[in-house]
Amino acid sequence: MNHENTDGKSTDTDKTDVLINTTVSDYDTEGLAIKEEGLREGKIFPGLDADYPLRDPSEDPRWAVRTVKIWMWITIFCIVGILVLMILGIWYD
Amino acid sequence: MSHLEIPGISAKWVIGFFGLFHISVAAMAIGMAFIVAVLEIYAYRNKIRRYDLFAKRTQLFHVCIYNIGTINAIGLVFALSGLYPQFWSQIFVHFFWPLIIEEFLFFLLATTLTFHYFFWEHLWGHKKLHITLGVLLIPLFFLQMYIINGLGGFMLTPGFKEGEVSLFKGILGYDFKAMYNPSFLMLQLHRALANISYAGFCLAGWCGIRLYLTDDAKKRDYYEDCGRIAYYIAFAFFLSIPIIGYFYSHVMMKEASQAFWDLMLGRGDILVLGIDTWWLKHFLVAAMLGSSLVYFHRIDKTNVPFSLPKVMVWSIALFYLMFYMAMGMVMTWLFFWLMFIAAIISALISLFLLHSNKNSARALFILLGVISFLTVMLGGYAREASRPRFVDRVSAYDNIYVPEERSPYLMVPVKPGDIPIVKQETTKEAQLIHDRCVDCHTLDVIRDYKDDDWDEVIKTMINYGTELTEDEAKLITEYLKAGKPF
């Protein structure tokens, strides 16, 4: 399996290393089998030899990125709102 | 009786149980938000997989304890509103708007925390976005703690003179002076640093347990390394705690003198089964210091990538030494020497533990995790037990908000003076007692006094600095002797 490591270079690495703690689709039977075997043999924990598994942004599920972005801005907006309320409370109390 | 009673356990200990349980979990949750963010950023910048993994596993634990802590907080509110209905009703109205924001923050935190953990593996291509989401947890947790510390500080120093409740308000449900009461800032700083330190020691303790449970060399290396990082963070935040502790004590001495002297002299509820909980807490803190000095001394001799700067480690030791000297001067030098001995005994035990585990810190991690848990429990208990019971201490508190009067005003802006305040008719003598005695202690100290030697008591108080003319002293003495109400 090709895996893009932290230097941006594509290298061949052991599949178990790539699968360590990364999401495997329920339909990826090959991936699931490798992961299960790795778990059974104790190879997967805890990915000490694995590269830092950055990947191309296009590989991230779009729904997940959108959900987190929307939520992040809602949270930032709420924090700012609460801070404004606290500052206004100084004068209006 | 101002509250319901529970046979056997007592209402006080029901609240005590919920409160301490909540402190143990909530304090850890606040600290972990910071530690996870630091670990994830550090792992990303240096591209170290194991620290990212440690951050993720910590965040899973964090999600679990956050839920437990939140449910426990609801239990605390239920218990307070059932067992101390008048007290809770009034404090809830006094801090209505901050508590509504607090509730909203619970919602924001639960959601953000859950998203942060469960989207971890989906965002390897957007790591910075994921880190930003994790970093947002820090101000959210800080704001939540900020608000609850307003209430916590108010319970200790309910105004700018002990015995007075702030009633400076234009909007019913928010009281600026009550929120920003005299002990607010010190409580805020102390808890912010202590929570991070506590969470770090607990994480190191967890690594210690895992070290005992595995024979795999790689895993041992992983847990030893991650435990070390957690220990570094925990100990670094030890740095300012004694400095803040000193100023916190100073504020208490000025603004909550009874609580201060209860702590210093080990009076009242501070003693549990004859044990002074505050002394015991400091005994354990000194033990943590002694163990940590040995740990850092040993770390310097091993082949680890980095350690905390020596100047920082020794500064922390020096600050604690100064703190204990200051406390020794106020109380007794026995306190100072006991702390000194605790640090030395603990250092020797730690040397033995490191040596017997072939330089693995697994036993030390567990020891420090357990001790930090106990210090948080004891500190939390001593803080609440030192002050006089809030319900009893402010005699006119019931008159501030009368339930049937408050509801029409709850949602409308009202100006100061618009709210009807029922005033108790007081005699000149009672007013004198209210005005002069609460400079140093609360009124329930006078009410609880069993003897009848008021002449002596008043003379002693004047010697201590109470400002009373001869006539005033005579009036008060006769009044107290007659056993009249105030």
- Domain with B452 in it: what CATH number? 1.10.760.10
B172 SS3 class: coil
Q: What is the pLDDT of residues B10-29, one digit of tens each?
A: 888 899 999 999 999 999 99
A39 and A26, same structural domain?
yes
Residue in A21, A65, A85 nearest the CB of B123:
A65
| Greater pLDDT, B219 or B418 | B219
Q: Which of A61, A69, A90 sits opposite B129 (nearest CB)?
A: A69
The model's pLDDT over B349-394, given as tens digits with 9 standing for 90+, comes to 999 999 998 888 999 999 999 999 999 999 999 988 888 776 655 5
Residues A35 and A66 in one domain: no
| Structure tokens that stand for B43 in this block | 């792992």
Mean pLDDT of B427-449: 78
Mean of the pLDDT values across residues B175-203?
A: 92
Any A CB within 8 A of B127 CB: yes
* pLDDT score, position B164: 64
Residue B413 lies in a domain: no
Higher pLDDT, A3 or B80: B80
Q: Which of B162, B341, B322, B337 is nearest to B246 (CA)?
A: B322
Going by pLDDT thresholds of 50, 70 and 90, the confidence category of residue B345 is very high
Give percent of chain B above pLDDT 70: 89
Q: Which of A34-38, B75-79, B180-184, B448-452 has the lowest mean pLDDT?
A: A34-38
Task: Report d(CA B342, CA B292) in Å as an integer.
Answer: 13
Whether B168 maps to a domain, the answer reads: no
Residues A46, A67 within the same domain: no
Q: Taking a C-beta distance cutoff of 8 angstroms, is the pair B29, B65 a contact?
A: yes
Range of the domain at A22: 1-56
Residues B153 and B214 in one domain: no
CB-CB: which of B48, B111, B122 is closest to A64? B122
Both B79 and B197 in one domain: the answer is: no
Residues A8 and A23 in one domain: yes
B435 and B380: one domain? no
Which of B104, B122, B132 is the closest to A61 by Cβ?
B122
Q: Are residues B28 and B124 in the same domain?
A: yes
How much is the pLDDT for A7?
45
> Are residues A40 and A11 both part of a single domain?
yes
Res. B396 pLDDT band, cuts 50 70 90: very low
Do residue B224 and residue B285 come from a single domain?
yes
Domain that holds residue B320: 192-393
Burial B384-398 (b: 16+ CB within 10 A, else e): bbbbbbbeebbbbbe
Q: Indicate if A35 and A77 belong to the same structural domain.
A: no
Number of domains in chain A: 2
Out of B152, B181, B210, a domain closes at: B181
* Domain termination residue (choose one: B374, B393, B412): B393
Same domain, A48 and A74: no
Shared domain check, A12 and A48: yes
Give residues with Cβ within 8 angstroms of A14, minimum separation 6.
none
Question: Does the residue B406 lie in any domain?
Answer: no
Domain total in chain B: 3
- Which tens digit of pLDDT belongs to each residue from A11-34? 444 555 555 555 566 667 777 777
Is B197 found in the same domain as B158?
no
Nearest to B360 by CA among B181, B144, B209: B209
Chain B residues near residue A42 by CB distance under 8 angstroms: 216
Q: Are residues B367 and B228 in the same domain?
A: yes
Whole-angstrom Cα Rg for chain A: 21
A64 and A44 co-located in one domain? no
pLDDT of the residue at B395: 45
Name which residue leads in pLDDT, B306 or B288: B288
Distance separating alpha carbons of residues A72 and A80, to the nearest angstrom: 12
Return the residue in B124, B211, B213, B226 with the most chain A beta carbons within 10 A, the one to mutate for interface testing.
B124
Mean of all residue pLDDT scores within chain B: 86
Q: Residues B471, B477, B479, B480: what is their CA dihedral angle, to the nearest 10 degrees?
A: 160
Helix B362-386, helix B184-213: angle, nearest 10 = 150
The stretch B148-176 carries a mean pLDDT of 75
> Residue B18 has what pLDDT?
93
Residue B51 touches partner A, C-beta closer than 8 Å: no
Q: How many Cα atoms are found within 13 Å in the side-chain-facing hemisphere of B336?
A: 13
Say whether pLDDT at B424 is over 50.
yes
Classify burial at B162, counting beta carbons within 10 Å of its beta carbon; exposed 0-12, middle 13-18, buried 19 or more.
buried
The gap from C-alpha B79 to its chain's centroid, in whole angstroms, comes to: 20
Co-location of A75 and A48 in the same domain: no
Which tokens hold the place of B133?
A: 């989401």
Contacts of B154 (CB under 8 A, 6+ apart): B91, B94, B95, B166, B178, B179, B181, B184
Pick the more confident residue, B315 or A33.
B315
- Residue B474 and residue B374 share a domain: no
Co-location of B339 and B443 in the same domain: no
Same domain, A52 and A66: no
Looking at the structure, tell me whether residues B216 and B351 fall in a common domain: yes
Please, which pLDDT band fits residue A9 given cuts at 50, 70 and 90? very low
Q: How far apart are CA B204 and CA B210, in angstroms?
A: 10
Q: Which two tokens stand for residue B213?
A: 């449970």
DSSP states of B351-399:
HHHHHHTTT--HHHHHHHHHHHHHHHHHHHHHHHHHSPPHHHH-TTGGG
- State how far the Cα of B307 lies from the Cα of B288, in Å rounded to an integer: 18
Q: How confident is the model at residue B62 (pLDDT cuts 50, 70, 90)?
A: very high
Instruction: Answer yes or no: do A34 and A79 share one domain.
Output: no
ipTM above 0.95, yes or no: no
Are residues B118 and B262 part of one domain?
Answer: no
Instruction: Give whichever of A33-37, B130-134, B244-248 has the largest mean pLDDT.
Output: B130-134
Interface residues from chain A to B (CB-CB < 8 Å): 6, 21-23, 42, 45-61, 64-65, 67-69, 71-72, 75-76, 78-79, 82, 85, 89-90, 92-93
* Interface residue B143 vs chain A (CB under 8 A): yes
User: Helical H runs in chain A?
Assistant: 15-19, 29-40, 62-92
